[in-house]
Amino acid sequence: MPSNNPIVLLREAAGGRYLPIWVGAVEATAIAYAQQGIEPPRPLTHDLMRDVLAALGVSLTEVRITALEDGVFYATLVFSDGSEVSGRPSDAIALALRTDAPIRAEAAVVDEAGIELPDEDDAADGDEPVAAEEQVREFREFLDHVSPEDFG
């Protein structure tokens, strides 16, 4: 990835756009663990937060990616008691994955920074399906030449 930073791609639920969010290595690991169902021997920070919320009887109801300013994404965590807390999207995503909370992005953010990637069913030159390997190559090439500032 550009400058060796991991990236999270959030896919639009009804549509073909993706929202690329650069994250730190620690947060990328926490997100990957949650996606793969890996339970570390000791709780990570996001596991601790999930457990604290459970102990307090509060649940995370959703995560909202709310803004993009100067190439930096902003998120809001919304809790069952009505409270909202601002946070980094990477931490919010890691917590959402641990609590099965939905992740949503404001339409304006997706309009500004969303990218379209070819679908498996899309055709190259109108007739032949694009091979998965070709899609991966094209996406890697795109990532090699894009930076967070391109979305700001």
Render pLDDT for 66-104 as a digit per residue (tens, 0 to 9).
999 999 999 999 999 999 999 999 999 999 999 999 999
The pLDDT of residue 15 is 80
Which domains, ranges and CATH numbers included, belong to the chain? Answer: 2-151 (3.10.690.10)
**Of residues 15 and 142, more confidently modeled:** 15
The answer to whether 16 and 119 have CB atoms below 8 angstroms apart is: yes
Q: Do the beta carbons of residue 113 and residue 65 sit within 8 Å?
A: no
- 3-state helix, strand, coil split of the chain in percent (to 5) is 40, 30, 30
Q: Is the dihedral of CA 74, 55, 59, 78 positive or negative?
A: negative
Assess whether pLDDT exceeds 50 at residue 1: no
pLDDT greater than 80 at residue 145: no
Q: What pLDDT was estimated at residue 127?
A: 46
pLDDT band at 136 (very low <50, low <70, confident <90, very high): low
Q: What is the mean pLDDT of residues 140-147?
A: 69
More confident residue, 127 or 29: 29
Its pTM stands at 0.76
Residue 43, number of CB atoms within 10 A of its CB: 12
